[in-house]
Amino acid sequence: MKILAIETSCDDTGVAVLEVSKTSNFKVLSNVIASQIKVHQKYGGVFPMMAKREHQRNLVPVFMRALKQAKLLKISNSQFLISKTEKIKEILGREPELYKKLVSFLKKYDKPKVDFISVTNGPGLEPCLWVGVNFAKALSYVWDIPVIPVNHIEGHILVNFLNPRPHALNPKSFPAIALVVSGGHTQIILVRKPFGAAQGKLFSYEILGETRDDAAGECFDKCAKILGLGYPGGPIISKMAEGIKPTNTLPRPMFNTKDYDFSFSGLKTAVLYADRKVANKNINYKRAMSAEVQQAIIDVLIKKTTKAIKDFGAKSLILGGGVSANKELRKQFKACLLGQEKLIDTELIFPEPKLSTDNGLMIAVTGYFNRRNSLQPGSVQAKKWEKIVANGNLRI
Ligand code: KG4
Ligand code: ZN
């Protein structure tokens, strides 16, 4: 079966095509991403309405590249039904630019051979989510194929199971603790019951803790802005911090609390105050401060995550989200969980760094697992496209 997946929850426009064999072997046919970094760089953050405009602009070209790479883009020799344009216009009523681009695509190309569409319907920036959701709905209407709405956070978790490794989906790896760390979220999630088809889901999830204010990625981004380093801050800070030993001068908010929650806004404020006192903001200062910021964030992430692993007897740690691409975070998690002390007998399940950040493939894999389970007796069925809505605050 072939799955077409669409991701527009933040500032990356992603479309992927995934082929899954009867024995659940995955073959990635395409995974195209258009980043909006250049647009948002000037502002040091993402403005939802600007991001929405970019998604409208990029979605059809990205979609065409994804189909072309998957060898599914075929020039049409039949007549596109003009009678369908009114309904498409209604579905894309709030995305007029996308409507025009989609109709010219549909006039020129045939329906690709895909079995269903999966699309991120939350959480994320709502105007951005709607672009992808309405696009998926329009395609579902025109081509008469089902749509599976996908939770973005679940996508960050399940992208780890794209290429089954010995531990992946092995019952012995569960319960697991997932740490999803991105620009919008920082959550510790208890992941249970592999193979449980209940509710049409592969796993059951329980959010144990999350950030009370800024997300970890947001903290990287805001601190980078204060230090004049550019956007997105995470990769830049990580690069600047390479080879620098932190001296632990910044606070570690909520480090000793008994819950699994985080708070990062105080850390950003501490960086702001410290920065005001520095007269010569040369490269050495920026590199040193980058190492301090990175280590402060890593310390709290590792502290709370290992606490959850111990408290729930987790057998594995699953990382996901943009911040999980951070080399130092991965290294320190490995050292802490698998090092000489080997405090915990835990498997580490990390995504390929390029699959840590937002992409369509994570939505394809999650759509596949949800669809596979929804086909089992007694579980939920694919939703009618009319019923799908975007929800910026969707919970896993
Ligand atoms: O998952 P993602 O692509 O988008 C959201 O769902 O938010 O995450 C983007 C975030 C940004 O805040 C970015 O600064 C951060 O991930 N990020 C990193 C690294 N790469 C991306 N943070 C730390 N180290 C990295 N190498
Ligand atoms: Zn994300």
- Assess whether the region 2-156+356-387 and the region 216-350 belong to the same CATH fold: yes
- How far are the Cα atoms of 12, 90, 115, 365, 372 from residue 197, in angstroms, in the given order? 31, 36, 21, 16, 9
**CB of 322 sitting under 6 A from ligand 1:** yes
- Would you state the pLDDT for residue 171? 79
Total residue length of the chain: 396
Ligand 1, closest atom to CA 152?
Answer: 6
Residue 35, judged by CB atoms within 10 A of its CB (0-12, 13-18, 19+), counts as middle
- Report the separation in Å between the CA atom of 182 and the middle of ligand 1, taken as the mean of its atom positions: 5
Residue 379, judged by CB atoms within 10 A of its CB (0-12, 13-18, 19+), counts as middle
**CB of 233 sitting under 6 A from ligand 1:** yes
Q: Tokens 């889901």 identify what position?
A: 201
**CB of 122 sitting under 6 A from ligand 1:** no
List the single range of 142-146, 179-183, 369-373 with lowest mean pLDDT.
369-373
Ligand 1, closest atom to CA 321?
Answer: 1
CA 77 to chain centre: 38
DSSP letter at 244 equals P
**CB of 358 sitting under 6 A from ligand 1:** yes
- Report the separation in Å between the CA atom of 178 and the middle of ligand 1, taken as the mean of its atom positions: 16
Counting ligands in written order, the one closest to the CA of 150 is 2
**CATH architecture classification, 2-156+356-387:** 2-Layer Sandwich (3.30)
Contacts of 213 (CB under 8 A, 6+ apart): 263, 264, 265
**CB of 238 sitting under 6 A from ligand 1:** yes
**CB of 232 sitting under 6 A from ligand 1:** yes
| Tokens at 7, concatenated | 């991701």
Separation of alpha carbons 388 and 365, rounded Å: 19
**CB of 351 sitting under 6 A from ligand 1:** no
- Would you state the pLDDT for residue 183? 94
- Report the separation in Å between the CA atom of 341 and the middle of ligand 2, taken as the mean of its atom positions: 33
Contacts of 340 (CB under 8 A, 6+ apart): none
With beta carbons less than 8 A apart as the criterion, state whether 174 and 191 touch.
yes
DSSP code string of 8-37: -SSSEEEEEEEEE-TT--EEEEEEEEEE-H
Testing ligand 1's pocket by substitution, the residue of 323, 362, 363, 394 carrying the most ligand atoms inside 8 A of its CB is: 323
Q: Report residue 146's pLDDT band, with 50, 70 and 90 as the boundaries.
A: very high
Ligand 1, closest atom to CA 185?
Answer: 7
Cα dihedral sign for 279, 285, 288, 289?
positive
Beta strand extents in the chain (DSSP E only) = 2-7, 12-20, 26-35, 116-122, 147-151, 176-181, 186-192, 204-210, 316-320, 347-349
List the chain domain ranges: 2-156+356-387, 216-350
**CB of 326 sitting under 6 A from ligand 1:** yes
Q: Whose CA is nearest to atom 7 of ligand 1?
A: 183
Topology annotation, domain 216-350: Nucleotidyltransferase; domain 5 (3.30.420)
- How far are the Cα atoms of 53, 90, 344 from residue 96, in angstroms, in the given order? 10, 10, 54
Separation of alpha carbons 107 and 323, rounded Å: 41
Residue 296, judged by CB atoms within 10 A of its CB (0-12, 13-18, 19+), counts as buried
Rg of the chain's alpha carbons, rounded to an integer? 22
AA letter at 218: E
- Report the separation in Å between the CA atom of 326 and the middle of ligand 1, taken as the mean of its atom positions: 8
- Report the separation in Å between the CA atom of 356 and the middle of ligand 1, taken as the mean of its atom positions: 8
**CB of 357 sitting under 6 A from ligand 1:** yes
AA letter at 140: S
- How far are the Cα atoms of 168, 193, 316, 395 from residue 312, in angstroms, in the given order? 19, 14, 11, 21
Q: Give the other-Cβ count within 10 Å of 193's Cβ.
A: 15
Q: Is the pLDDT of residue 220 over 80?
A: yes
List the single range of 66-80, 110-124, 254-268, 292-306 with lowest mean pLDDT.
66-80
- Report the separation in Å between the CA atom of 243 and the middle of ligand 2, taken as the mean of its atom positions: 28
- Report the separation in Å between the CA atom of 123 and the middle of ligand 1, taken as the mean of its atom positions: 16
Q: Report residue 43's pLDDT band, with 50, 70 and 90 as the boundaries.
A: confident
**CB of 320 sitting under 6 A from ligand 1:** no
**CB of 184 sitting under 6 A from ligand 1:** yes
Pick the residue with more confidence: 375 or 275?
A: 275
- Report the separation in Å between the CA atom of 255 and the middle of ligand 1, taken as the mean of its atom positions: 22
Q: Report residue 198's pLDDT band, with 50, 70 and 90 as the boundaries.
A: low
How large is the average pLDDT for residues 218-244?
Answer: 96
- How far are the Cα atoms of 155, 159, 216, 230, 322 from residue 225, in angstroms, in the given order? 28, 30, 14, 6, 18
List the single range of 43-47, 219-223, 234-238 with lowest mean pLDDT.
43-47
List the single range of 163-172, 239-248, 302-311, 334-343 with lowest mean pLDDT.
163-172
- Would you state the pLDDT for residue 193? 77
Ligand 1, closest atom to CA 221?
Answer: 14
Beta bridge partners of 149: 119
Nearest Cα neighbor of 33 from 359, 367, 362, 365 is 359
- Would you state the pLDDT for residue 385? 87
Whether a cis peptide bond, with omega within 30° of 0, leads into 232 is yes
Q: Report residue 379's pLDDT band, with 50, 70 and 90 as the boundaries.
A: very low
| Tokens at 111, concatenated | 């329906």
- Report the separation in Å between the CA atom of 251 and the middle of ligand 2, taken as the mean of its atom positions: 26
Average pLDDT, the chain: 91
